[in-house]
Structure 1
């Protein structure tokens, strides 16, 4: 019988999920039998009422697996038994079985979800053995559609139509079989119709049926209804099977509802359930750490990895470490480090950075432990860089007194024979620079030599190029800009044989530009001299094959144009020739040109006006 379809708006179905008006139900859900005038329905065949049903069922199962004689031969020959297990079971000849055996085979195929075989047996019973369609046959046909690969909800709808056409009414057993199929193949309309049908006939939904209902709701994405159904089952004392609870964890986790999945798993753990699968724990740890759900990740880690129950891969461990870092849980972060260390993991800068962030994120922040991590990194040949100290930089800038406290803590660590990396001292300098305190930054710089590694003997300093770049930035942001201190730092850099970088020249240019702009209104000659030094440093930089940043080039060209210095056009010419090496030049280079042309024209007009004014005064 063909399957009738219900023409309904999908959006309307979503907005009205519990609608169950009988007039709108499709014909395939009308389970009422048609009126019969003469004949009455035949008595229903029940498997439990046939004599010797258990023995017949065992015989059918034996036949299904190869027959008694083959089994005896396999038992006598272990080698043949092993070979038989490698080969598929031969398909039995259904036509040679007795009717009773066929009914038993039908039940077995239904339970195994072999819908094709179940249909074949049913057709033999009806067409060849002249069995009248009955509830047992339709129950088996419907139940066989629980197969995820071969079953289908639309086929169940056809069986329900055939059932009604045969004048039979579905009993509670068939209704529960439909619910079991709908737990695998979602059909919201059919489920609603079956529930209404059961309600109208006072059929009580069994505990297994309630679990099938919840599973179907999960599969169709009705999570709130599924959770409500779960709460009702647990509240009424209904035993919820582990497979359904596992399904809740997996489905809610995939939908991003990790906190709900965690609540279900935690309740199972707290109730003393010991049958929770290792796969469920591993999935929860993976999903919770990937979503940075701290409570779920910490719960899964402490109850599995810390107990030796799981050994997660490095990627999951890194996610747990990141989760602990964001939540400010140094204990969990340390557990992850300990676990990775025991199996010989190679640590990276990121591992130490996350551990440091975890200590700073604690309440209250543990500054000394965070600084101690910086001293551990050089021992692993991973000297800290500016990237690993960002959280420390943010924390120290909340209170100026913390900078001095951090310096004192570093002194204590150095006294305890801990190697103090230059990155830790550069951090303190950067904190003073961000507060535009040049003198405090220079004070830390002058103390750097006192933190030199003891094994290397006394050294004038072990400052690196990052140290000098930070101090040059401080010379520019100071008020007034200190170009003399910048020149001293350059000479110091050369004396220590520290190799400058492009950023060193860039910041040196900015120092002289800022100082020149400061002196021009006061002392024009001094301002022009400083501007000339800025251009020279730019020229030296170009000869080395480097170019300043876009903003530095813009300021240099504009400042030269404002004083009528024709070298501004040289700067623009070089930028045009090497524009591909300057980030942002292709999109914003034309703005610089227009800006320079504008200030150049203004300067020329101002100069012409001054000359004309001087000529008038001379003539007068």
Structure 2
């Protein structure tokens, strides 16, 4: 008895993919199906009549997928269908079997090829006499995943054509209702993950619940993706965590998309939370290892984490990606990471950032070294921080008060039971000077400023006395400005006069802050005449050498001078007010009111522009007031070179 033949159909090919296919199955028919062929002797008129009769046999007629109420995603008839070819044998789709056309239809919908899916549907309906069914509509719904051709409105239009919202057995226009099955719902959810529509997605989920259709893990991934697109981050993350807790498969692309979207909208902490979830899933699958992301996503996480000053997250990304050499961050990201390391005192991280920058031959500037100094200070390594300052000085990088500002903030923090930090810093600088290294004056100025901030004026004076032996450049104008501030706080006018005289002997040019603080010292020590003399000299001194703009005190100092003149019943307050109003468009109302109340109104109107000098001359000529004691420092300031230069330029 001959062996029983077997049928090499689709089920057999699925169960036994390695079995050689039969020639009848592998060979693609090169002719149209027999049902559509006319006898050879039929004329063209008879062929056209037979085709029309076959089309009329369809209950949907010739208008399907092109009539007004159907989704009009294309136009034309079979004659204008694009000749899409099979990728294997380059055969037009119109010559394939019905079974293969359905296969191509599902593939075109999955790839988002809407035009191709619509063309295949027209072939099936008009050429093969197939009635519109769920397979066709599911493929069209699936094709809306295309970012170009798909929209949520088109999805609604197709669902309306299927009669999704219609009650009973008929849809719009009397057309038979086509039920949406589980696969169709999943196709809609996938399209809504690209084109989010919260209301439509809710209706689909409620429809699935009413029909007892299960939401597959793939569909849950699409629901989360749609929530992320709609910026419903809390709901999306809650559902994501619930899926992980129930051990539902979470696609890798969903986690990557979640991180990108969260980073885009500034939810950096939540993005790193998703990264931890992905790392947890990866460890659960493989037992070891970390999350696998693209280099672009790792770089974005590092950049955003460093900008947000997220220390743990930034260090984690740097350790597992940058240190092994997998990721090469940009220079801006390296600066942000260096700022994170400086804030938290992570010397190892800061040193590794410098390693990366050195490999790309970056020219280090003040910004890099300042962050490194702050890193060592936050790590409580004062010697290393001062050593970095000396390295900057040796490489001819300018060091000023701003560069040493982190050092000042560190030195002024007084801890009970700990020795004086300014003195400790001075001792370290002395050791550096003994070993032959150059010490910048700005570093010693920071020590003096910290002592004054701690209200240790005598300690600041002691540091100033040894400044000449530590720094070969000697004190500068900023040094004396800091000391004048200490004299004002301690009300030590005699020390201020001594320092002013020494400043003249060193040939240092006073600036606006020097005069302003000397005026403040005199006012706090109730020396109005000396304060006015410094004010007059300040108004005769140019801001810069060769400039026509003269110095002027700060607003509070100006107001303090006028208030003291009013209190002393000194008419020079009128001239001060006029000069003050020329530079301050909105003076404090209380000052002007006090001066008007104390002096006559005519004095405010008739006073000459140089009233201050005129009143002073008149007062000296009439012998009013006692003789003013002028120290050697004041004589040097008032009759010195700066006042003469200022008067000549004016």
CA deviation digits over 1:478-528, x for unaligned, max 9?
A: 1xx33332222222222222222121122122222222x1xxxxxxxxx46
* Cα distance, 1:47–1:260 mapped onto 2, change above 3 Å: farther
Match of 2:322 among 278, 295, 305: 305
* Cα distance, 1:313–1:53 mapped onto 2, change above 3 Å: farther
2: CA distance, partners of 1:55 / 1:360 = 79
Task: Identify the residue that residue 114 of structure 2 maps to in structure 1.
Answer: 115
Q: TM-score, normalised by structure 2?
A: 0.71
Residue 336, structure 1, aligned to residue 353, structure 2: yes
Task: Identify the residue that residue 446 of structure 1 maps to in structure 2.
Answer: 465
2: CA distance, partners of 1:54 / 1:291 = 60
SS in 1 for 2:144: helix
SS in 1 for 2:361: coil
Task: Identify the residue that residue 447 of structure 2 maps to in structure 1.
Answer: 428
RMSD over aligned CA atoms reads 3.4
2: CA distance, partners of 1:491 / 1:178 = 87
Structure 1 residues 420-429 or 113-122, which shifts more? 113-122
8 Å contact from structure 1 (residues 56, 100) kept in 2? no
Structure 1 residues 100-109 or 146-155, which shifts more? 100-109
Task: Identify the residue that residue 409 of structure 2 maps to in structure 1.
Answer: 394
SS in 2 for 1:353: helix
Gaps of 5+ in 2: 1-8, 14-21, 32-82, 164-170, 284-288, 543-547, 604-650
CA deviation digits over 1:231-280, x for unaligned, max 9?
A: 33333444433211111211222233322322332454462257421111
Task: Identify the residue that residue 196 of structure 1 maps to in structure 2.
Answer: 206
2: CA distance, partners of 1:528 / 1:414 = 44
Q: CA deviation at 1:173?
A: 1.5
Task: Identify the residue that residue 232 of structure 1 maps to in structure 2.
Answer: 242
Task: Identify the residue that residue 586 of structure 1 maps to in structure 2.
Answer: 585
8 Å contact from structure 2 (residues 334, 353) kept in 1? yes
Task: Identify the residue that residue 530 of structure 2 maps to in structure 1.
Answer: 530
Task: Identify the residue that residue 375 of structure 1 maps to in structure 2.
Answer: 390
* Cα distance, 1:58–1:250 mapped onto 2, change above 3 Å: farther
Residue 470, structure 1, aligned to residue 489, structure 2: no
Task: Identify the residue that residue 263 of structure 2 maps to in structure 1.
Answer: 253
Q: CA deviation at 1:447?
A: 0.6
Q: CA deviation at 1:567?
A: 2.8
2: CA distance, partners of 1:66 / 1:599 = 103
* Cα distance, 1:397–1:247 mapped onto 2, change above 3 Å: same
Aligned counterparts, 1:122-141, within 5 A: 122-141=121-140
2: CA distance, partners of 1:431 / 1:384 = 17
SS in 2 for 1:552: helix
8 Å contact from structure 1 (residues 505, 538) kept in 2? yes
Q: CA deviation at 1:282?
A: 0.9
Which structure has the highest helix share of the two? Answer: 1
Gaps of 5+ in 1: 1-45, 72-91, 454-460, 518-526, 580-584, 605-620
* Cα distance, 1:591–1:367 mapped onto 2, change above 3 Å: same
1: CA distance, partners of 2:452 / 2:337 = 35
* Cα distance, 1:494–1:159 mapped onto 2, change above 3 Å: same
Task: Identify the residue that residue 28 of structure 1 maps to in structure 2.
Answer: none
Task: Identify the residue that residue 643 of structure 2 maps to in structure 1.
Answer: none
* Cα distance, 1:322–1:54 mapped onto 2, change above 3 Å: farther
Aligned counterparts, 1:57-456, within 5 A: 64=84, 99-100=98-99, 102-164=101-163, 165=171, 166-269=176-279, 271=283, 272-273=289-290, 275-362=292-379, 365-399=380-414, 401-453=420-472
Task: Identify the residue that residue 7 of structure 1 maps to in structure 2.
Answer: none
CA deviation digits over 1:293-331, x for unaligned, max 9?
A: 222211111112111112211111111122222333232
2: CA distance, partners of 1:96 / 1:280 = 46
* Cα distance, 1:502–1:371 mapped onto 2, change above 3 Å: same
2: CA distance, partners of 1:196 / 1:540 = 85
2: CA distance, partners of 1:320 / 1:349 = 16
2: CA distance, partners of 1:469 / 1:500 = 9
1: CA distance, partners of 2:26 / 2:503 = 95
1: CA distance, partners of 2:528 / 2:339 = 53
Q: CA deviation at 1:146?
A: 0.3
1: CA distance, partners of 2:450 / 2:273 = 44
Task: Identify the residue that residue 511 of structure 1 maps to in structure 2.
Answer: 521
Structure 1 residues 285-294 or 226-235, which shifts more? 226-235
* Cα distance, 1:476–1:163 mapped onto 2, change above 3 Å: same
SS in 2 for 1:181: helix
2: CA distance, partners of 1:391 / 1:595 = 43
8 Å contact from structure 2 (residues 522, 528) kept in 1? no
2: CA distance, partners of 1:419 / 1:266 = 49
2: CA distance, partners of 1:153 / 1:47 = 35
